Structure 1
Amino acid sequence: MKRTSEFLAHSVAREDRPDGTILLRSNYALGPVVEKTGVWLQDWAKKVPDRTFIAERSGAGWREESYASTLQKVRAIASALLARGMGPDTPIIIMSGNGVDHGLLSLAAQYVGIPTAPVAEQYSLIHGAHGRLRHAIELVGPKMAYVIDADQYGEALALDALDGIEIIASRTGQKPNVTPFEELLKGDASVDLAAAYAKVGPESVAKILMTSGSTSAPKGVMTTQRMMCVNQTMLADALPFLRTRPPRVVDWLPWNHVFGGSHNFNMMLANGGSFYIDDGKPVKGLFDRTLENLSMVTGTLSFNVPAGYSMLLGALQNDTDLRKRFFQDLDLVFYAGASLPQEIWTGFENMAMEVKGEIPLMTSSWGLTETAPATMMQSEPIDRSGIVGVPMNGVTLKLIPDEDMRCEMRVKGPNLMPGYFKAPDKTKDAFDEEGFFITGDAMQFIDMNDVNKGMKFDGRISEDFKLLTGTWVRAAQLRMDMLTCLAPLATDLVITGADRDQIGVMIFPDMAELKREGFDVNDQDGAYVCKLLQGEIHRRLAERAREISGSSTLISRAIVLSEPASMPEGEMTAKGNLNFRKVLTRRKDLLERLYNNADPVTVSI
């Protein structure tokens, strides 16, 4: 198969220490790095002033801001912020989702050294999640808060935590004491904008990004100008086509996450690209909007989660014109969040060959909020999903193998955070004695004898547990296996068995799928009971049991939960990930029922 030719071939140096620790680093030198994001904006506004930088839907078309208009508005907003006495110690909290005004405000703040703290819009829009919003406000201590619509976000804006903080809204609605966003666009000629811009350097904090809170209360990651700028150099080193033709995306991934808001947003800014905001999402009821947007504009790069690609593949199979448009200029298919099912991968390969006779680079990477995020990438073309590649230029990986050569991973590099905001103790605990960040993630070599073949993610160390027999259970990988085994009945699940004699699974079902399959389920105190459904789960578990050996992967019992995971109760993060510990704690009565063979809701084999 013909493949996209512009990629960085893997070349990794390996150092084996006497204690068994392995160090990996790229043999390539890191390319040139600008000192701040304002350099990119000024450079492209001069080179390609009329090219669209950022756009959002407006009526039947798009509201588009060129690089020249973006720079003009960023400078006006920045001067208005300075006139209010704002600076490095007066952050701005952004409480609503992706939008042109959100982007302009973020870039203006970065232009003059004012940190922004974008938080998940769900924290504002879901009443029960206001505790998370309050935590972020109290941690960040903002002087200003932004929302797109003051009426829509009115309940959140009424929180006493925002007392005394200036509220900015693109649409003020009926809310008093809210400053229209247009006021910022008027600027203020009385301030020395050039002097403020000159003070911004690589160490300046550009963002305070909240961690997901899947294992503890969300922490604020101080994201510096250096982290964001060096990360884009790493990415362009690995993906040379970013430098040879302007990239374009139609992207929905939320900007309060590092992947959407730093990785993808800055990729367009750093390389003179165009960012079209997709106001759809890969969920029922919103995906049609994504398809409408793609019928108008398609990207040269595609970023999505596996569920999004699954929905997109189905749509492309049924729409010849959209299929041609989607693949016509496509250089990259990038998945994140979980491993892409191989049948989805193969489906995209086959379509690309049909449309253009070659396959774009299909890949993934690994990174965290604390690493800006990209740290490892599979830059060489491959034929299968699940590989996150090798260290990017400038990064050193420290791998601590166990007896099965599963490696705990630690990281050092210029893309690493200086620390957590207002949390020196947590910062100290996050680094080892050599200054490597302790990620808590595990990796496996594809081939121990050839590090250039890359690595695959192997779960979180903290999610692993022991059975009463002393057998270790690698819960993350087992969860992925069980999601495949139980597809499409399960939307997510929790692996159980810590300090017990058997492994179990608590299943969050796809109710629409159960109805399509004819399962008539009844709620019994938090769990579903249905003989047909229990029989189907028993059949699948028993069939799987015949194909495996060893107690570390044998699922012996299951329970189907009737209540969805709750974000207000902390069972689900803003990213849509389960907080496994919270689920097990909050539903401890159901956990006990899972291990009771006499309980009618328990499936056992």
Structure 2
Amino acid sequence: MPDAPVLTALHGGAAGDGADRPDAVTVDGRSCSYEELLGAAGAVARRAAGTKAFVVEATASLETVAAVVGGLLAGVPAVPLAPDSGPAEREHILRDSGAEALPVDFAERADFPGAPAGDAALVLYTSGTTGPPKGVVLSRAAVAADLDALADAWQWTAQDTLVHGLPLFHVHGLVLGVLGALRHGSRLVHTGRPTPGAYAAAGGSLYFGVPTVWHRVVRDEAAARALSGARLLVSGSAPLPAPVFHGMQELTGQQPVERYGMTETLITLSARADGPRLPGAVGTPLPGVTTRIEQSADGIGELQLRSPTLFEGYLGRPDATAASYTADGWFRTGDIASVDADGTHRIVGRASTDLIKSGGYRIGAGEVENALLAHPAVREAAVVGAAHADLGQEIVAYVVADGVTGEELTDFVASLLSVHKRPRRVRFLAELPRNAMGKPQKRLLPPA
């Protein structure tokens, strides 16, 4: 074995209630023990050893878990691939990463003593919103540092049962939701699909979800109340609307924990299990993380950070890697944020789409979206800036709502926020375009 394996609990470094259980890991109704998982991963590692990288068809399955663990055993980075990837995206990732396709048979078992640890644990591909997807190289040390920082913030232990149903080709579902359980020794229940009923039936102490999942849970009162016995409900991957935050508090008896991260940084900010949790806030820096806000007169600017969880770079793209850092070595997140007096961070949105400059004001789209979502008739909201001859940009709101007019929503926002932050135009849609993690895709909205 490598001197410091990432999955310390899986390798016997932590003793949890579920470590020797036949259902220590359950994915979509199939279960295995740690011993069975290591055997299946050993068979993958034997095939992967000596390769540059290998592709993992990242379905919600024990095969996916065994493949990623096998890569860590062999010291070879796994490249998770979304099962619904289109031919062009699939071809690009295979060509760009140089990864090989390897068969994975969970019934096959093999011992694998472990190879010298390679630097790279995973290569995760970005969504490609600004061009072809880029391969983000994550090191073993970064993964371990992040999972340990989250254990500190969330009081995550081997006595927890972690429940989620998130995709296994993103940081949230794979790194936090699988590798985290195998590092800390908590029993893992992946529900296959993240339905309210499946979450309610799982009986977990620690739950992960994206805002879309929690919105559906809140709409299912019985399922929401069934989660009242959980220790911690964590939301991430997109901003959690304030009405959903309050609905979770009312129905489960606890406020959700929100956190912030990127593929390139892993998780860097979070509310703590023993600290305040505020709607619209993503907490304070995790241990080892330092942040700063690009200077601006109005208190908001680009969030920049230094952290042991940072990526190694974009695969084969040194220019893009260099461009993601400031001249003095801070990673540029591209997200606009503000920091309260107590150090609590709030994410306003992406600099490229969510910082609106209108009439000399700098306005965060997220603040306007939260105001719209506070209206009882509004179910979804997305706000953008559109070119305007006089103002520079005007605020345009896309909403999913019933029984309300655009003028009423404009007046409602003006009553909650400064008048200059009100939408100048409101467009009604049947639904907002979203990706697999529930993030609204503003580039896919119809023209303003």
TM above 0.5, one fold? yes
Q: Is the 8 A contact 2:395 2:423 kept in 1?
A: yes
Residue of structure 1 equivalent to 2:369: 479
Deviation at 1:544, TM superposition (A): 3.5
Aligned: 1:135 with 2:92:
yes
The Cα shift of 1:387 comes to: 1.9
Q: Distance in 1 between matches of 2:242 and 2:357?
A: 30
Deviation of 1:555 (Å): 1.4
Corresponding position: 1:109 with 2:71:
yes
Give the deviation of 1:298 after TM superposition: 1.5
Q: Which residue of 2 aligns with 1:56?
A: 27
Partner residue in 2 for 1:43: 12
Q: Deviations over 1:145-180 (max 9, x none)?
A: xxxxxxxxxxxxxxxxxxxxx5x36xxxxxxxxxxx
Is the CA contact (8 Å cut-off) linking 1:493 and 1:508 kept in structure 2?
yes
2:79 alignment partner, SS class: strand
Could you tell me which residue of structure 2 aligns to residue 388 of structure 1?
282
Asked if structure 2 preserves the Cα contact closer than 8 Å seen for 1:35 and 1:225, the reply is: no
CA distance in 2: counterparts of 1:258 and 1:185, whole angstroms: 27
1:557 paired to 2:425: yes
Maintained 8 Å contact 2:122/2:138: yes
Alpha-carbon spacing, 1:138–1:477, altered in 2? closer, same or farther (3 Å): farther
In the alignment, what sits opposite 2:116? 199
CA displacement, residues 65-115 of structure 1 (integer Å, 9 cap, x when unaligned): 111211122223212333xxx43x1x2222342211110111011111121
Deviations 1:178-215 (A, max 9, x none): xxx26x8254x8xxx43xx24115xx211111112334
Superposed displacement of residue 564, structure 1: 6.7
Residue number in structure 2 paired with 1:251: 164
User: 1:291 maps to which residue?
Assistant: 197
C-alpha distance in structure 1 between counterparts of 2:431 and 2:15, whole Å: 55
Q: Distance in 1 between matches of 2:189 and 2:258?
A: 22
In the other structure, the counterpart of 1:444 is 338
Match of 2:132 among 217, 220, 224: 217
Does residue 208 (structure 1) correspond to residue 123 (structure 2)? The answer is yes
Shift of 1:500: 3.7
SS at match of 1:121: coil
CA–CA separation in structure 2 for the residues paired with 1:225 and 1:94: 17
Counterpart of 2:349 in structure 1 is: 459
Counterpart of 2:62 in structure 1 is 100
The number of residue pairs the alignment matches comes to 441
Q: 1:337 is matched with which residue?
A: 237
Provide Cα deviations, 1:492-514, integer angstroms capped at 9, x if missing partner.
Answer: 434232344362426364xxx75
Relative distance call for 1:389 and 1:507 in structure 2 (3 A) is: closer
Aligned equivalents of 2:441 and 2:125: distance in 1?
15
1:301 Cα shift?
Answer: 0.4
* Separation (CA, whole Å) in 1 of partners of 2:440 and 2:236: 16
Distance in 2, Cα, partners of 1:280 & 1:412: 35
Q: Which amino acid aligns with 2:424?
A: S
Task: State the alpha-carbon separation in 2 of the partners of residues 309 and 562 from structure 1.
Answer: 20
Distance 2:176 2:162 in 1: 12
Q: 2:256 aligns with which of 358, 362, 367?
A: 362
* CA deviation string 1:343-380 (max 9, x = no partner): 44344444455xxxxx5x73111111111x12112214
Paired with 1:500 and 1:486, the residues of 2 have a C-alpha distance of 33
SS at structure 2 position matched to 1:103: helix
Structure-2 change in CA distance of 1:546 and 1:350 (3 Å): closer
| C-alpha deviation, 1:404, in angstroms | 1.2
Q: How does 1:6-155 map to 2 (within 5 A)?
A: 35-43=4-12, 48-50=19-21, 52-57=23-28, 62-82=29-49, 86-87=50-51, 89=52, 91-123=53-85, 129-144=86-101
SS of 1:575's partner is coil
Q: Give the alignment's TM-score, normalised by structure 2.
A: 0.87
Please show how residues 563-582 of structure 1 align to structure 2 within 5 Å.
Answer: 565=433, 573-580=435-442, 582=443
Unaligned runs of 5+ residues in structure 2 are: none
Deviation at 1:396, TM superposition (A): 1.7
Partner Cα separation in structure 2 for residue 311 and residue 213 of structure 1: 28
Rounded to whole Å, the distance in 2 between the matches of 1:563 and 1:382 is 33
Q: Deviations over 1:302-337 (max 9, x none)?
A: 11123322322332x336xx835x333x21111113
SS at match of 2:264: helix
* Identical amino acids, percent of aligned pairs: 22
Distance in 1 of aligned mates of 2:429 and 2:216: 25
1:496 aligns with 2:398: no
What stretches of structure 1 of length at least 5 have no aligned partner? 1-33, 124-128, 145-165, 170-180, 282-286, 354-358, 518-532, 566-571, 592-605
Question: In the alignment, what sits opposite 2:212?
Answer: 307
Q: Aligned partners of 1:564, 1:445: CA distance in 2, in Å?
A: 29
Greater RCO (Cα-Cα under 8 Å, separation 6 or more): 1
Q: CA RMSD in A?
A: 3.1
AA in 2 matched with 1:136: I
Q: Secondary structure at the match of 1:364?
A: strand
- Whole-angstrom distance in 2 between the partners of 1:137 and 1:578: 27
TM-score for both structures, normalised by structure 1:
0.66
Structure of larger gyration radius:
1
CA distance in 1, matches of 2:261, 2:327: 21
1:134 partner letter: E
Relative to structure 1, is the Cα distance of residues 420 and 217 closer, same or farther in structure 2, using a 3 angstrom cutoff? same
Classify the secondary structure of the residue corresponding to 2:163. Answer: strand
CA 1:563 to 1:46, structure 2 compared with 1: closer, same or farther past 3 Å? closer
1:374 matched to 2:267 = yes
Q: Distance in 2 between matches of 1:547 and 1:55?
A: 46
Matched-pair contact (CA < 8 Å) for 2:232–2:256:
yes
